[in-house]
Every structure is written in structure tokens, then in C-alpha cells.
Amino acid sequence: RLNQLADVMGELLNELPINQSLALRLYYLEEKTIPEISSEMGKSEVSVRSMIKRGKAELRDHKDRLSAY
């Protein structure tokens, strides 16, 4: 069941714009800080925070796909 949830989350992340997906992966999966992500992506910290916020909002819009888990 956990593997299925991970698969669905991976699919949802892949549906996001690449920068949002990357920012979320770096922040939540690799546990990097905003400054680290900013440096790695070559974006400002404000932009990184915005990408994470927009990505999370997009994922929330698809919570029905996750509710079975």
C-alpha cells in the first residue's frame, strides 16, 4: 500500500511544472533548505518558496487521488 502511495505521489510530482516538482523533491525528499535549493536551482529564495507553495497547492487539488491510501 505504501508503494502504491509513493507511485501516485511520483505521478503527481511528474505532472507539475519541472521547477515546482524539483523544488518539492529537493525540499521534502532530500530535506534541503531553501537557501540550498536556491543555490542549486539558480533561483532566488523568494522564487523557491513560491514554487514550493504553488506545487503544494497543485498537489492539494489532486488529494482525491491520494484519499484511497
- The CB-side HSE value for 52 (13 A sphere, CA atoms) comes to 21
d(CA 38, CA 20): 12
Give the H or E element holding residue 48.
helix 45-61
pLDDT at residue 52 above 90? yes
pLDDT at residue 46 above 70? yes
Task: Give the model confidence (pLDDT) of 53-62 as tens digits.
Answer: 999 999 988 8
pLDDT score, position 69: 64
Look up residue 68 and give its three cell numbers. 484511497
